[in-house]
Structure 1
């Protein structure tokens, strides 16, 4: 520091010490902030609790003057200087003047109090006469008296102000009291009424006290509930800070009472729940509760639920998080899953046993059936024919029992897939009545049918099977009286009812009758009443079709079984495209042609099959196993035209594997029939997804011949199969063919009926592989393919044909379509996309349109320009929504993505359909493809 600065500071310090008065800086509450100078001459530490309050520390002589000066400065004056006050300081009398100033510092109001000391001029009286000294003393006393009076005036003023405030308060109280009195005077006309009102007020006050007490009790009860429950509950405010928690929360968080007010993120959670803060904020944002299961160490599980915390005005002031212990439920679910797996293993073992038993039983039964067929053709005489007929009935009963086992195994295997369509129910009722009329008449029963004009939506084949089982049961358990088949309409559904006057069912057995092998009143297990699988099959088919099964019964009087089937939306006329209950083949006619390879390990069945087929004029080659059959085909120059094989063959190769091997050897399509007595789930699924025909043992000769004739149709037939094409005459013109690829045999046959009725040629295939193996490039042909096929799907087939055979027009047909599938199919090369069920006229129209588009390939550019012109009128929002629709997004997802309402999306979709002139989504897909990617799809 420079010497000049040091000298300046010294000079200022000396001047302050010598001439500056004692000064104190205080705030509005008189607390000392800073002091300088000889303040010890005027201030002293007060007794008792230490304090920094200036008035309390000021000498008693100066206290009244200081209070007066501070009061005036606070009131209005910026500076107040008091009169000199005489006081004794260090045994000397002095006059002290109090100087108070109001000062503003950084927005805060402070006060500077200075104690200015003036010497007491007592020497003026010395040497003067006594009267002069008395006058001086009198002047001092008068000045002190004036000061005292001033202080007294100040005190009086303060007292008056205080009294005034008190008076104002009293006046307000009086005013309120007067208002109450005025009100009482208006309401009460006497002193007694006023007293009554006071008593009522006293009673209300007592009730209020009781209400408060009840509220306090309720609060205590609620707190006890929260503290006694095992549910951990955590209350958070809007900033996710802890407001309250129950003691059970300590099992999940390391939390103590001092954590109230801390952020949730500061707590150490014992559970693996990193999403807790994110979910809490999401609930605050959306007000939608969120549930999540969380695990804590020790294999304990909790269901964490977050809800918004709502105040009395329905405002959200935070969230409430509860943790419910679900460990027992998790353990129970684990135990249930283990029990389910054990039950599945037991069911699988049962299925394997039934499959093995069925196979072992069907083998000798097949021999008996074939032998009975040969006997029926060779025996003469009424007595012999009667015995052969009775033998046929006995074999039919045995076959029915095994077929019933097969039906329920097919449902378990998932082989049965419903094909839902709209159709008239009366056709099923009429067929059932014709089918069971003879049986009812032979039992002396009256079987009646009430005609019904209703149309329903279901799978006709499966529904007829359900009703057949119910009618069969009604006749089995009715000894006398009648049975009735009819329908009732109920609230959008049709009740198909079967009434009987039979034994009836006890109430405790109404559920048990749907269990496998359960029979009513049949302890001896009479064969005529079946195996007890009819109603279980009905129930499982009902679950598959989503049809409710109901039963009402009175023991000893009869029963009513009803099936609830939804009514069709529109009464469309019946069409041959509807799935058929069965494919009825002609039982004769036509010369047999071709060689059949029979592969059967059972020598009796093998010999009988050879005799039967030879008697029909077929060439027959037999083999005892797969290896022998492969060797025989490799050695012969004339390849077989059809394979008839057992499924279970010795030597490590089953019938399906052998068929695939032989097809590779012959280099083309080889029709194959698989005979099986195996009803295991795995076997049924394999056969159902392969291109081979299936017959279940025991098979009757008529059924076998019908299937063989269908697979080996003559070359001149309009529906000749690819295997017979070499037998066609060279001079015969080749007609265009409609290739039908569908894994449902009934659908294939129904489509063929429609095509033949229109004079077209149809070729039927069950798989894409079978079609590719037999495909020939025939001008004017068309492909009709199902979207969902085993192994190679319909979409995969279209993609393959697009590169290998681009000139073949194709139509995709399916029973469960969506927009994304339609777009994918048309991009893969489909000319059209139609949904089941479709009428015969609709199918033919689609075929004509596809063939026309194929012939008019040069007009694709014009179609593209016309389609683009139709889309020009769409707004940008409509184009955006159309792109999302064509991508397969539902309306609710489009609304969420675009931030608009679902109704707005629906309005835009309707406008798009109107502006483009599209009547359906497939039509809109075709239009969009022509406008955007038609050039690509035409390559």
Structure 2
């Protein structure tokens, strides 16, 4: 009877449960790929916090707490290696339960430090503790959400003690934090559930693909049906990437805006170092998401080259100034062979191709160096990037241009990128009507080449943008259904001396027009009631009877969405938006309201390079 009761409880729809063994094994494989980085980051964050707590006050228990955290992370990391067949269908259940237990312990240790040291009389300590707990929760969302019970095992014990600590103060001034903490927990749980749902669907489709391919080999008569299924799987992959990217961009966008506001407060040097570490982690995540965006733009076909005559040497100097210090830090020699070549093409896209090739050359070279050169032929020039890296076997020469394919990274180390760089290079080359070729020998290095037509006559210099306008007194209307983003955006615009109003829906924005006439509108793409920012923008312009400059901000990277925005001619920014990008976009609209982002052909080529 007890077993039946327990089984009945496990079937309750509102309780998270582990999926069937085959699906669970794939989920745990996804988590296992990033588990080592997660445990290392958790340990480092604990020692950073403990050091700060020890140096800023009499807290002798902080370092023992950090040691306990490091020990728990080490047990979790090495303990999983002792589980036989942990990624098999037979062992995935035990691996998932063990990881849930260890993450519950690690989350409880983070909750313990909040319970012990979240002293509201010391705002600096509160900021440090909350920043690191929020950062670790965001990281856990990205790493562990493929299996929902595993992610919940960390979130609940890490965040609930923070809420209890604010409740225990009994101070009405901390009511926003008391209300905001469970809201943040709910947001994490919602995003984790959505990510797990998308991951589950994508994994199920992957299994279906394997079965379809097997049937295709056995029954050639079903070739046409199998081809349609493969196309559906490819679309599902794009939907998965777009959905996962959107759900991860939303909290990163809010966190980035809040970090800017936090950086403007009176922090001491130690606190600024902690904020800098958080900004660095946020920036790394933003770079990965932007790689996905670049790839989505290529798939959507919204990049159109803007060809002109330009000299290659200034571009090579610019890249040398950027990458030579990186190469020197790795003990490599970076060389550029001077050239007088004048090419005809899009210099922005040529720069992005070279940037990806050079970054790859430095990443995969342990000794020797990198050489960037240009050889002129009769009617064209051959641009080359040489390295003395690990080399590429001949059998892999075609595969390395596929998305998410990496050499020498079986553990999927996130520091080595997502495996999209060469796929983006190949797509950009095809967009410019050329192709990248490869010559390589394992252990001897590689050379990547692509041809560009030579130009004759005088190079066309790109126009220099005028000095940025001031934003003092600019009346801005922000429309976003996320309260955290509305707050962060309002604080950022206030720091720029703008007069800002916020609305969470189209109806609320229209109601504000009776007392507030905006000179600029910033709108999220997805709004309440299945409305979009573009629809809200059209309604506002119709109500005012005039054109109002506007920027749509979105986390969607689906190909259909990119093509729709491209066709609408509206300025478009992708989350997470850094303040410099937002200010530059606003300045462009103030200077020329007709210049509407990616819909303007003069700016399409630059859109992918950001």
Q: 1:357 to 1:549 in 2, by over 3 A?
A: same
Tell me the equivalent position of 2:263.
376
Q: How does 1:574-613 map to 2 (within 5 A)?
A: 574-576=460-462, 590-613=470-493
Work out which of the residue numbers 491, 494, 498 in structure 2 matches 1:618: 498
Correspondence 1:897-912 to 2 at 5 A:
none
How much has 1:410 moved relative to structure 2? 0.5
- CA deviation after TM superposition for structure 1 residue 584, in Å: 6.7
CA positional deviation for 1:366: 0.6
Distance between the aligned counterparts of 1:356 and 1:585, measured in 2? Answer: 38
Structure 1 residue 642 and structure 2 residue 526: aligned?
no
**Alignment match of 1:435 (pick from 322, 334, 342):** 322
Which digits, 9 at most, give the CA deviation of each residue in 1:684-728, with x for residues without a partner? 111112232111110111221222233235xxxxx7x599xxxxx
Q: Which residue of 2 aligns with 1:746?
A: 603
Q: Which one has a larger percent strand, Structure 1 or Structure 2?
A: 1
Q: Which residue of 1 aligns with 2:435?
A: 548
Question: Superposition RMSD on alpha carbons, in Å?
Answer: 2.8
* Residue 424 to residue 585, structure 1, CA distance change in 2 (3 Å): same
C-alpha separation in 2, matches of 1:648 and 1:354:
17
Distance 1:540 1:591, change over 3 A: closer
The equivalent of 1:631 in structure 2 is 511
The answer as to whether partners of 2:566 and 2:599 remain within 8 angstroms in 1 is no
Q: Is the 8 A contact 2:568 2:599 kept in 1?
A: no
Look up the SS of the partner of 1:644 in the other structure: strand
The answer (yes or no) to whether the contact 1:424–1:574 under 8 Å persists in 2 is no
Aligned to 1:462: 349
Deviation at 1:452, TM superposition (A): 1.3
Q: What is the number of residues matched between the two proteins?
A: 388
User: Residue 362 of structure 1: CA displacement?
Assistant: 0.3
1:598–1:620: 8 Å Cα contact kept in structure 2? yes
Q: Distance in 2 between matches of 1:406 and 1:371?
A: 23
Checking the alignment, whether the CA contact within 8 Å between 1:600 and 1:645 is kept in structure 2 is yes
> 1: distance between equivalents of 2:359 and 2:465?
22
Deviations 1:173-196 (A, max 9, x none): xxxxxxxxxxxxxxxxxxxxxxxx
Q: Contact (CA 8 Å) 1:514, 1:535: kept in 2 or not?
A: yes
Give the corresponding residue for 2:229: 342
Larger Rg: 1
Q: Counterpart of 2:385 in 1: which secondary structure?
A: strand
After TM superposition, give the deviation of residue 586 of structure 1 in Å. 5.5
Separation (CA, whole Å) in 2 of partners of 1:414 and 1:747:
11
1:325-474 matches, cutoff 5 A: 339-474=226-361
TM-score, reference length from structure 2: 0.60
Deviations 1:637-661 (A, max 9, x none): x311111011111212111111111
Contact map agreement 2:343 2:381 (CA 8 A) in 1: yes
Deviation at 1:521, TM superposition (A): 0.3
Equivalents in 1 of 2:550, 2:564: separation in Å? 14
Q: 1:333 to 1:459 in 2, by over 3 A?
A: farther
SS of 1:378's equivalent? Answer: coil
Task: Determine if the alignment matches structure 1 residue 529 to structure 2 residue 416.
Answer: yes
State whether residues 627 and 651 of structure 1, in contact with CA within 8 Å, keep that contact through their aligned partners in structure 2.
no
Unpaired segments ≥5 residues, structure 2: 1-218
Distance 1:698 1:372 in 2: 12
Partner of 2:52: none
Provide the C-alpha distance between the structure 1 equivalents of 2:530 and 2:493, rounded to a whole number of angstroms. 27
The within-5 A match list for 1:417-816 is: 417-568=304-455, 570-576=456-462, 590-633=470-513, 635-636=514-515, 638-713=516-591, 743-746=600-603
Shift, 1:379, TM fit: 4.2
Work out whether residues 676 and 697 of structure 1, in 8 Å CA contact, stay in contact via their aligned partners in 2.
yes
Question: What SS does the corresponding residue of 1:617 show, helix, strand or coil?
Answer: coil
Q: Kindly tell me: are residues 379 and 424 of structure 1, through their superposed partners in 2, closer, same or farther at Cα, counting changes over 3 Å? A: same
Query: 1:410–1:416: 8 Å Cα contact kept in structure 2?
Result: yes
Measured in 2, the distance between the counterparts of 1:584 and 1:376 equals 29
2:73 corresponds to:
none
Stretches of structure 1 lacking an aligned partner (at least 5 in a row): 1-331, 578-582, 714-718, 724-738, 750-939
Residues 677 and 697 in structure 1, CA contact (< 8 A), matched pair in contact too: yes
Distance 2:240 2:410 in 1: 23
Q: More relative contact order in 1 or in 2 (CA 8 Å, sep 6+)? A: 2
Change in CA separation of 1:395 and 1:468 when aligned onto 2, cut-off 3 Å:
same
> 1:360, CA displacement in angstroms?
0.3
More helix by share: 2
Deviation readout 1:422-453 (Å, 9 max, x if unpaired) = 22222321222122223223323221111211
- Aligned residues of 1:641 and 1:670 also touching (Cα < 8 A): yes
> Matches of 1:576 and 1:612 in 2, distance apart?
31
Q: Distance in 2 between matches of 1:601 and 1:663?
A: 20
For 1:28-47, what aligned pairs fall within 5 Å after superposition? none
Contact 1:656 1:687 in 2 (8 A): no
Please report the TM-score for the alignment, with normalisation by the length of structure 1: 0.39
